[in-house]
Amino acid sequence: MLSEAELMEQLKSIITTGTTISYLPAADKSNQWRIIGTTGNIIKLFSGTGQFQLLSFAELGQFAREGRLTINGKLYTGTP
């Protein structure tokens, strides 16, 4: 199992502008977020319904540990 720092670094290497993520069980447009940028440890997200959200890589790591993070439609399993 990856340490918290290793997990965040791995996510930082995967998450780029244009990537689509979801961390909620329902797969409708309101639960799919497009990465519009990152700054340091903050991820800027925009949904298909026009919502804007900020998340930290630590929060994204928590979703990954809980087994509910999808990246570009694929469940994140800890391997790039």
Q: Could you give the angle at the alpha carbon of 78 between the alpha carbons of 22 and 32, nearest 5°?
A: 5
**Residue 31 located in a structural domain:** yes
Q: Is 80 part of any domain?
A: no
The verdict on residue 33 lying in a domain is: yes
> Residue 27 CA to chain centroid, in angstroms?
14
pLDDT score recorded for residue 71: 93
In a domain, 49, yes or no: yes
Q: Which residues constitute the domain of residue 60?
A: 4-75
Domains: count for the chain:
1
Q: How confident is the model at residue 80 (pLDDT cuts 50, 70, 90)?
A: low
Report the amino acid identity of residue 74: K
**CATH number, residue 33:** 2.30.30
- What's the pLDDT tens digit per position in 23-72? 987 666 678 999 999 999 999 999 988 999 999 999 999 999 999 999 99
Residue 25 belongs to a domain: yes
